[in-house]
């Protein structure tokens, strides 16, 4: 399994998106999901930043599987909410991963905010951890600027995609095709930056 990289996420929609981006970049021969590793730990996102959370997850999964692991932490940062939900994006409404409840809470919180102040950005930190006696780690970030719309639009993507309109576009990220979204998304940008690091890390390991 020398050229296998583990995607350290149980979010099926996110795994599909990350696999699509990394496959397009030919970063590894095979990308494995956590479902292939029974007993893989649930890693609490206790970090104060996207970068810290991405590393926490990648470290834990690399240690458990003894394979290179990649993970991300991402979210939406709304200007009118002082940059929140931020690292709390997946659990903004309380429970983890309730996309609809999270989205509706954000819309309720900005209901009285003028349109001109609905600026927002998606941010993603992507981490790679190579296991071993001296583990190696890399973290890169990507972001896309835009603004919120008042009502959800589109059925693609996940999370806050239906209410995020990227700058320069008339479609929310939930109305875009997967390929169009990947081209401009925060995860697309972060994981395309990570892809050559994955390739180089795997190559250097094979050479040792």
Of 3, 23, 63, 73, the active-site residue reads: 73
The residues, ordered by sequence, that sit 6+ positions from 147 with a Cβ below 8 Å of its Cβ are 118, 119, 120, 164, 165, 167
Cis peptide before 25 (omega within 30 of 0): no
What are the CA-CA distances from residue 44 to residues 34, 74, 86, 88, 157 (Å)?
15, 14, 16, 12, 24
What does the DSSP assignment read for 129-178?
Answer: EE-SSS-EEEEEEEEEEEEE-SS---SSS-TTGGGEEETT-SS-TTTS-H
Whether 38 contacts 102, CB under 8 Å: no
Angle between helical axes of 12-24 and 186-207 (0-180°, round to 10): 60
Residue 73 annotated in active site: yes
Residues serving a catalytic function are 73
């Amino acid at each position: 399994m020398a050229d296998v990289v583990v995607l350290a996420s149980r979010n099926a929609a996110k795994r599909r998106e990350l696999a699509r981006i990394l496959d397009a970049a030919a970063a590894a021969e095979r990308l494995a999901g956590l479902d292939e590793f029974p007993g893989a730990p649930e890693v609490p996102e206790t970090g104060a930043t996207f970068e810290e959370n991405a590393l926490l997850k990648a470290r834990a999964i690399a240690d458990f599987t003894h394979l290179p692991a990649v993970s991300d932490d991402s979210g939406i940062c709304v200007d009118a909410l002082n940059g929140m939900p931020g690292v709390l994006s997946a659990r903004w409404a309380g429970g983890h991963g309730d996309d609809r409840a999270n989205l509706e809470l954000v819309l309720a919180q900005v209901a009285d905010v003028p349109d001109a102040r609905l600026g927002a950005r998606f941010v993603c930190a992507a981490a790679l951890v190579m296991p071993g006696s001296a583990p190696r780690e890399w973290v890169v970030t990507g972001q896309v600027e835009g603004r919120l719309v008042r009502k959800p639009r589109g059925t693609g993507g996940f999370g806050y995609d239906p209410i995020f309109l990227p700058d320069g576009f008339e479609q929310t990220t939930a109305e875009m095709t997967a390929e169009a979204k990947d081209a401009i998304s925060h995860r697309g940008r972060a994981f395309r930056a990570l892809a050559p690091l994955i390739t180089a890390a795997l190559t250097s390991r094979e050479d040792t």
